[in-house]
Amino acid sequence: MASTISFSTGNVRLIRVGYDHHYVGLRLICPQRCVSFVARAKAKPSMVIRASNEQDTSAKISSRSIEECEAAAVAGNFPDPLPLYRPSGPRGTPDAKPLSLSRRPRRNRKSATLRVSFQETNLSAANLVLPLFIHEGEEDVPIGAMPGCFRLGWRHGLLDEVYKARDVGVSSFVLFPKIPDALKSQTGDESFNDNGLVPRAIRLLKDKYPDIVVYTDVALDPYSSDGHDGIVREDGVIMNDETVHQLCKQAVSQARAGADVVSPSDMMDGRVGAIRAALDAEGFHDVSIMSYTAKYASAFYGPFREALDSNPRFGDKKTYQMNPANYREALTETEADEAEGADILLVKPALPYLDVVRFLRDNSALPIAAYQVSGEYSMIKAGGVLKMIDEEKVMMESLLCIRRAGADIILSYFARQAASVLCGMSGMKFK
């Protein structure tokens, strides 16, 4: 069926687009000029464009006005229908009888519009939390094992990075401090110093950007001279209840500085309930707790420990972090954290533990977070640098998969880069 469009032919040019290059469209030469689709004087000819299976798709000018075309339609004199066009396969394609299928799932994938319409999982900047490393210095120090990541100077570099992230829609941040060795101790007392690095950074951020959400890390390892998440007994045992006592003071100090969400990552037993009680006792009823519910003793944390210089001085963290071989144990941790008052449950790492993310999603009504850790980030970056993968596509696919598994929010060092892609600024250079 011929299509009739009314406008001046001087303002348009013909372009070939669409199905097998057999259709012709129109594009304005001057986009600033408005095209009117209202019927005009009879003297203005109409442009008629026919789609056919011929390569010569020249536009033909009809001598009939819009009114004459409408009168013909009322009288039942319709234009000839478009010829039926069926694309053929390559030479040698068998003449197969169509399969008798009641369902053909590919029908819902046949165009970009349909694929978007039926997409089950979506990713936006609101789902992303950007981890930031901070230190006492003025300069931003690059982290060798994490290309594109820096230890940010807490006065200037931190504010600059948050500004850039907010510009592409990221409004949630989690802080990790690199503490000077001189301030570290076996009991991690610097962790609850109200004038320490993290409280100062929180106050600065909330003063400059009061609308952002600030998450904090509650653990002793950045402050411990032993590099462990808890106080170490003389026989090497990590002391649980004594560590929880310190963590409560740390969480209250962070809340006092203005933290929105405190995040115990230590994996001590009973710490969520103790921290909730400590926060409530100080009047911080609105401060949320994001518990590292299923934090595994993973080899994917290596670059992070370089960033904070927080490797254990001896031994490992397997007596308090979860065994990577265990799945059902995550349910034990989930039930405990829910009962103790956690507001958000987190799985760490993310991609190697998507089954655990889905397990928590299916067994809890609380929001689920997943941490795409430093090792995951660095592998994608390295693969991109070596041209083994398309970094941007793998980055976006990995984040979408974490969302598909059930995560409501994702802590990722890719947060700003991914948000730039989502808002159409693909290919941005990052310092």
Which H helix or E strand runs over 4? strand 3-5
- Residue tagged active-site, from 348, 393, 429, 431: 348
d(CA 360, CA 369): 10
Beta strands in 248-287 (DSSP E): 261-264
Does the annotation count 295 as an active-site position? yes
Q: What backbone phi and psi angles, to 5 degrees, belong to 400?
A: -65, -40
DSSP structural state of residue 389:
S
Cβ 330 vs Cβ 356: under 8 Å:
yes
d(CA 250, CA 175): 14
- Residue tagged active-site, from 295, 317, 387, 431: 295
For residue 153, give both structure tokens.
């100077």
What is the DSSP track for 187-239? S-GGGG-TTSHHHHHHHHHHHH-TTSEEEEEE-STTTBTT-SSSEEPTTSPEE
Cα 249 to Cα 228, 259, 265, 282, 365: the distances in Å are: 17, 14, 15, 11, 29
For residue 348, give both structure tokens.
């760490």
Cα 401 to Cα 116, 173, 354, 372, 379: the distances in Å are: 16, 21, 8, 11, 16
Catalytic residues: 295, 348
